[in-house]
Structure 1
Amino acid sequence: SQMKELIRQFGLKLRQGGVGVFYFAGHGLQVNGRNYLMPIGAEITAAAEVEYEAVEAGFVLAQMEEARNRLNVVILDACRNNPYARGFRSGTGGLASVSNAPSGTLIAYATAADDVASDGSGSRNGLFTGELLAQLKQPGLTLEQVFRRTRTAVRGKSGGKQVPYEYSSVEGEDFYFLPPVPVAGSDEERAWDFAKRSRSVAAVRLYLSDYPNSRRATEARRLLAELEKNERLVVGNPPTKPPVSNPAPSVRMSATGVALTALASFTTVKTDRTGMVIERKLQQECWGYVEDLGNGVKLELVELPTGEFQMGADDGGVYERPLHQVQVKGFLMGKYEVTQAQWRAVAKLPKIKIGLIPEPPIFKGENFPMYNVNWDEAMEFCARLSRKTGGKYSLPSEAQWEYAARAGTATPFAFGPTITPELASYNGMLLIQGEVGDREPLTSVGSFPANAWGLFDMHGNMWEWCADEWHLDYISAPSDGRVWGDISSSGSQRVIRGGGWYSQAAGDLRSSVREQADPGGPNPVVGFRVVRQ
């Protein structure tokens, strides 16, 4: 077949040397313990026909073994349901495990052996391939790190339902798809160069831990003191509860007739292309509304102005295109992600459609964002809050969310062209001397700088639900900021925004990034914030 001939040609090229990478996305199945890859147009009615219509994965491995090159990588996003299952007497889902990979070979499956993987729910790539592509763009990751981080991301986004696996016989030196950015000098010099350029508290602390008596130690301690002082100024210590403003004597009415009060001032920052903070600004004026949920629990909302903005990113993925102009009417949005204390207060109110579990499963804290919330539960929260207060609460539309996240900016992040783990809660993967600086699973809301409109954690901490149904791109998207799709049914995939604490790349936190999630399933990395129209 044409597919087999192309694989033969691939094997001949490998004999000339180099690293071989074989990637297959589509349907794969196992018959009698052997894995088969299905070409486009294959017609199979029974298991006996598979070996004649499909290509055995072992055929690919045989070409690699014959080539005897140093390193080969086989990536199979083919662990899907058997599309021909009706013609089989019995069968096991997914692909069989591999026990005889040629020396120097890594074989990556989209999910565990005998299991099935997500097709991507209408997206161009499945969940596994989408996350793998994100990791392949990161310089300085070894072969093993790329797939290990892909596994972490897929496990998180699937709620533990899909866990990629690798089978490896790779030996010798590390291999990089994108090599580390070279820095001249010794290990100590490279560590110091990174600490200075990143201006990261974690990086400087790690440098001092590894080289406490170096000739740069005094300078490093001065830098650390400066950064820690700035961190206290900008971020402050994580509050024991969200800072709620004392109502100012001045009150004014919103365009929708809500009596607004002056909220507390806040600090925001701007960064340069390296992530260095180049400006800190104390914002004095911020208007909003404080909803009393009882027992000392408050819900602060910030007034956002009527305006227009460019939604999406021409240089982003297909999900973020085309860039288009959107007009948005003024509205009120939660200053913070809904906290566990706020969730508990509303969960105790009478049920409207579905019950709400008042406590999170593991990570608990009054001021932590509520997580493991599905879209249906977030909608129930809004409905109960509306009935209690008489206000019209809902999840934000996707356009409202991005408008609020940008806060009048056109840069990838509200703070500028890039972001660092000092400015948002995400797993920034600070690589120095092979060590990884991981973020704690949850961070108290309000622990990082706000954007220019006084909204906190629009980048990171938790992915956040939007009301909209998922669409692959922005073709035919509304231009007036309304919800795109039907909110009366939870059957369709829904939009999530903002990135989360487990996100490994800053790019996942960009204002324009959008992802999809199952509205009815538990999702340990998704929370939400509310809007009041």
Structure 2
Amino acid sequence: MSIPPNPNNTDAILGGQNPLPVNAGILGGIAGAKKKLVHDLELSIEAAHELIDNHDLLEFETITVNSFGKVITSTKKYAFYYTEKLENDVAIDMMYIPSGNWNLECTEGNKKWLHQISIKQFYLSKSPITKAQYQAVMGNNPSFFKGEDRCPVESVTWKDAIDFCERLSNLTGKNYTLPSESQWQYAFVSGTNTPIYCGDTITTDLSNYNGKQYKFRNEPTGVYLGKTTPVGKYPPTPWGLYDMHGNVMEWCLDEWHENLIDKPIDGTAWKWRDDNDGQYHIFCGCSYKFFPLDLRGSNCTYITAGDRYSDIGFRVCRI
């Protein structure tokens, strides 16, 4: 077998082999980190080449706390992403979310069951869409809180969020939309098996919520800021997503249903019809107003598509 005289970046990382060379030597730096990450994700050789050739690598740290809110570990992590560049040096980082299965706990009366949902890989914006990003795409800023362009845009209706996705799609030639409820909750968990992404509890040093009076577990009470904060201020999830806990609640694509019996098992949005005219739509997460027990990913509810509040924003998704 001949050796290419000038191996490209992918060949250097993957060894030019098929399948992915599990025991091949790992390069240092970014190249080595990319090789290790695609191996950990158990990707096909084609998917590995696509990520390595066309994506950047985000390096970040995640933390784990005990039930008293004390940091017990800090771990370096990597995640693939690409950047969607907008005008005026504004950009949106889109994080790669790996495929996997996720169990949704369903309750109806006294009946409880697990609804297993299989999620295909997708991309989710690293943080809620900010005022600057919204302004760059839509040409306006509807937010109640003024100033600080890196804060999440809020006071947006579901229809505003859909309009943003459609305009962003037209600008970029890619298909952007809101995440489904299943995609959002799957990303919220980010591969963890603890109540909160950072462990057994959370503190107001790790998220923007109302921690002044109540606790999640045994952590000390914290502060209540009463407003949004710049995205990225607090530590991310293990998949490199910021502000999944607190700051603003986030619109999802799904329409509201009375029960979860027929919820799609493929992670797609659950809609009554093919258009976007449903009256009630889902939003997930919690905001700067919420108490600690609301920080669970299962905290999803609904309002009408035309409602707007100072603690509801959104992030964008791409399949």
TM-score scaled by length of structure 1: 0.47
Post-superposition CA distance 1:17-57 (Å, at most 9, x none): xxxxxxxxxxxxxxxxxxxxxxxxxxxxxxxxxxxxxxxxx
Give the Cα separation in 2 of the matches to 1:490 and 1:523: 20
- Counterpart of 1:382? 165
- Counterpart of 1:342? 133
SS at 2:187's partner residue?
helix
Within the alignment, does 1:275 sit opposite 2:69 as a pair? yes
One-letter amino acid of the structure 1 residue matched with residue 210 of structure 2: N
SS at 2:136's partner residue?
helix
Tell me by how many angstroms 1:264 deviates: 2.8
**Equivalent residue runs for 1:81-120 within 5 Å:** none
Instruction: Answer whether contact 2:203 2:222 (CA < 8 A) is retained.
Output: no
Tell me by how many angstroms 1:277 deviates: 2.0
| Aligned CA-pair RMSD | 2.7
Match of 2:96 among 297, 303, 307: 303
Within the alignment, does 1:437 sit opposite 2:223 as a pair? yes
- Counterpart of 1:462? 248
Within the alignment, does 1:484 sit opposite 2:267 as a pair? no
- Counterpart of 1:328? 119
* Unaligned ranges ≥5, structure 2: 1-29, 39-45, 216-220
- Counterpart of 1:263? 57
Tell me by how many angstroms 1:487 deviates: 5.7
- Counterpart of 1:185? none
The 1:397–1:255 alpha-carbon spacing in structure 2 relative to 1, beyond 3 Å, is farther
- Counterpart of 1:312? 105
Instruction: Answer whether contact 2:145 2:310 (CA < 8 A) is retained.
Output: no
- Counterpart of 1:500? 287
The 1:457–1:363 alpha-carbon spacing in structure 2 relative to 1, beyond 3 Å, is same
The 1:303–1:517 alpha-carbon spacing in structure 2 relative to 1, beyond 3 Å, is same
Please tell me whether Structure 1 or Structure 2 has the larger radius of gyration of its CA atoms. 1
Identity over the aligned pairs, expressed in percent? Answer: 34
**How many residue pairs are counted as aligned between the two chains?**
271
Post-superposition CA distance 1:79-120 (Å, at most 9, x none): xxxxxxxxxxxxxxxxxxxxxxxxxxxxxxxxxxxxxxxxxx
**Equivalent residue runs for 1:120-135 within 5 Å:** none
Match of 1:518 among 278, 300, 304: 304
Tell me by how many angstroms 1:294 deviates: 1.7
Give the Cα separation in 2 of the matches to 1:291 and 1:420: 32
Give the Cα separation in 2 of the matches to 1:295 and 1:265: 25
Higher relative contact order (CA 8 A, sep 6+): 2
Instruction: Answer whether contact 1:344 1:359 (CA < 8 A) is retained.
Output: no
Instruction: Answer whether contact 2:204 2:222 (CA < 8 A) is retained.
Output: no
Give the Cα separation in 2 of the matches to 1:465 and 1:436: 27
Tell me by how many angstroms 1:267 deviates: 1.2
Give the Cα separation in 2 of the matches to 1:527 and 1:487: 23
Tell me by how many angstroms 1:272 deviates: 1.8
Instruction: Answer whether contact 2:58 2:240 (CA < 8 A) is retained.
Output: no
Give the Cα separation in 2 of the matches to 1:380 and 1:256: 33
Instruction: Answer whether contact 2:64 2:71 (CA < 8 A) is retained.
Output: yes
SS at 2:185's partner residue?
helix
Give the Cα separation in 1 of the matches to 2:238 and 2:145: 33
Give the Cα separation in 1 of the matches to 2:305 and 2:161: 10
* Unaligned ranges ≥5, structure 1: 1-247, 349-356
Give the Cα separation in 2 of the matches to 1:369 and 1:489: 24
Give the Cα separation in 2 of the matches to 1:322 and 1:260: 40
Instruction: Answer whether contact 2:117 2:267 (CA < 8 A) is retained.
Output: yes
Give the Cα separation in 2 of the matches to 1:436 and 1:326: 36
Give the Cα separation in 1 of the matches to 2:58 and 2:157: 31
Tell me by how many angstroms 1:488 deviates: 1.6
Tell me by how many angstroms 1:490 deviates: 3.2
Tell me by how many angstroms 1:404 deviates: 0.5
Instruction: Answer whether contact 2:141 2:153 (CA < 8 A) is retained.
Output: no
Post-superposition CA distance 1:141-196 (Å, at most 9, x none): xxxxxxxxxxxxxxxxxxxxxxxxxxxxxxxxxxxxxxxxxxxxxxxxxxxxxxxx
The 1:419–1:321 alpha-carbon spacing in structure 2 relative to 1, beyond 3 Å, is farther
The 1:321–1:273 alpha-carbon spacing in structure 2 relative to 1, beyond 3 Å, is farther
Within the alignment, does 1:447 sit opposite 2:240 as a pair? no
**Equivalent residue runs for 1:9-408 within 5 Å:** 260-283=54-77, 285-312=78-105, 322-348=113-139, 357-408=140-191
Instruction: Answer whether contact 1:287 1:302 (CA < 8 A) is retained.
Output: yes
SS at 1:379's partner residue?
helix
Tell me by how many angstroms 1:311 deviates: 1.9
Tell me by how many angstroms 1:524 deviates: 1.9
